[in-house]
Structure 1
Amino acid sequence: MPPIVEPPLFFLDYDGTLAPIVDDPTEAVPHAEAPALLRKLEARYPLWIVTGRDLKALSSFLDQPLNAIGLHGAQRGTIGKNVDGLMPDDAAQALRRLRQTVPSAEGLRVEDKDQSFAVHYRDAEDEAEVRDRLEHWLDALPEMLDAIWGKKVVELRPEGLTKGTAVRRIADEHPDRTPVYLGDDVTDEDAFSALQALDRDAVTIKVGGDDTRADYRLAGPDAVMAYLKRYV
């Protein structure tokens, strides 16, 4: 079990961490214990949701005014309230152009996220063939964008805006607290690395069984709830 630290600064991914992974992202409701637990934690400690989702869309699942980072670092704000976009104009324009050229394939689904988007291929009958098609599509990716491959999904984001850069800025705003980051996806690895590079302790926790840079591991959302309850 990961350690309990005082005083903590919480960074919590959403999908796969606070909510079970589901085939349809529009049905990713939070773990049954998550809303009440988040209220208790947020009343005691600084807490940020850090997600690849658009924060406006996330408010349909979390109706609490929680601090949050969205679109892998391209948004910062409060769920259900004000959200600031941090995406450069040239990256936003490039993403709009790419959105019009997504290849078509059986079982491929595009998830629009404010100025960005993700392409899911979880439902493809031949996942390898669809991924090859997506890789070919991204051969000409503009240099101001990065392609991030996750769990049967590829997401596009501006170069230099990551979960890592976002949490580093927030951690610098709380120099007397110990960052505690929980996340399950490839994009959370940037955050693990950024926090491990701080000149103070940090607790980095991988949720799930994939390879990771994190120092600790939890099996899934049930284990996440059990760990977070130890702080309340």
Structure 2
Amino acid sequence: MPPVPDRPLLFLDYDGTLAPIVADPAAAVPHPAVPDLLAELAQAHEVVVVTGRDLAALGRLLGARLRAVGLHGAEEGWADGTVESRAAEVHADALARLRADVPDAEGVVVEDKGAAFAVHYRAAPDADVARSALETWAEAVPAGLVPIWGKAVVELRAEGVSKGTAVARLAAAHPDRTPVYLGDDVTDEDAFRALQALRTPSVTVKVGEGETVAGHRLPDVEAVVAYLRRFLA
């Protein structure tokens, strides 16, 4: 089990960490224990939800008054859907063109995220064929945007913006606290690296299988809930 610092700054990914991964992103409700658990944690500690979702979608699923980072660092605000700053708008025209050109292939589904979007191919009958089509599509991504490949999904992110840049900035604003980051996907690796590069201790936790630079690992969402409860002991 990962360590439990006395004064943590909790960074929590949503999908695959607070909510099980499901085929339909709109149906990714949090683990039943999570809403009450987050409310208790927020009373005792600093908590930030860090997600690839836009904050409006996170608000519909979580609806909690917690600090939040959305769109892999491009939005900042609250987990009730309130956006205080947004970095994706400068790429609105390019994103609209790319959104219109997403390959029309079986099992390829576009998830609109307000100022951005993700393309899922988990339901494709042949994942390799779907990914190949999306790789060709991604070749048209212009400078300033970067395709990010996750678990059967590709998203476009503004260059220089990531979960890593967001958590490093927030950690610097709370120098008296130990950053603790839990995440399950490729984009969370940016956050792990950013926190490990700081000159202060941190706890980085990979949820699930796969290669990682994180210092610790938990097997699934149930284990995440059990670990987070230790911060209230």
| Distance of 2:199 and 2:144 partners within structure 1 | 30
| Distance of 1:92 and 1:197 partners within structure 2 | 32
Tell me: CA distance 1:188–1:60, structure 2 relative to 1, closer, same or farther (3 Å): same
- Tell me if 1:23 matches 2:23: yes
Q: Which runs of 5+ in 1 are unaligned?
A: none
| TM-score, normalising length: structure 1 | 0.98
The answer for the alignment partner of 2:79 in structure 1 is 79
| TM-score, normalising length: structure 2 | 0.97
The answer for the alignment partner of 1:135 in structure 2 is 135
1:38-49 equivalent positions in 2, closer than 5 A = 38-49=38-49
How far did 1:100 drift? 1.1
Judge conservation of contact 1:96–1:115 (CA < 8 Å) in 2: no
RMSD: 1.0
The count of corresponding residues between Structure 1 and Structure 2 is 232
Judge conservation of contact 2:182–2:204 (CA < 8 Å) in 1: yes
How far did 1:22 drift? 0.5
Judge conservation of contact 1:164–1:195 (CA < 8 Å) in 2: yes
The answer for the alignment partner of 2:181 in structure 1 is 181
Cα deviation code 1:171-230 (max 9, x no counterpart): 010001100000001000000000000000000000001110100000010000010000
Judge conservation of contact 1:180–1:202 (CA < 8 Å) in 2: yes
How far did 1:141 drift? 1.3
Q: Which amino acid aligns with 2:150?
A: G
Q: Which amino acid aligns with 1:169?
A: R
How far did 1:89 drift? 4.2
The list of structure 1 runs, each at least 4 consecutive aligned residues, that deviate by more than 6 angstroms after superposition, is none
- Tell me if 1:67 matches 2:75: no
The answer for the alignment partner of 1:114 in structure 2 is 114
The answer for the alignment partner of 2:212 in structure 1 is 212
How far did 1:86 drift? 2.6
Judge conservation of contact 1:204–1:215 (CA < 8 Å) in 2: yes
Q: What SS does the aligned partner of 2:105 have? A: coil
Q: What SS does the aligned partner of 1:14 have? A: coil
The answer for the alignment partner of 2:147 in structure 1 is 147
Q: What SS does the aligned partner of 2:61 have? A: coil
Q: Which moves more between the two structures, 180-189 or 87-96? A: 87-96
| Distance of 2:26 and 2:180 partners within structure 1 | 27
Q: What SS does the aligned partner of 1:123 have? A: coil
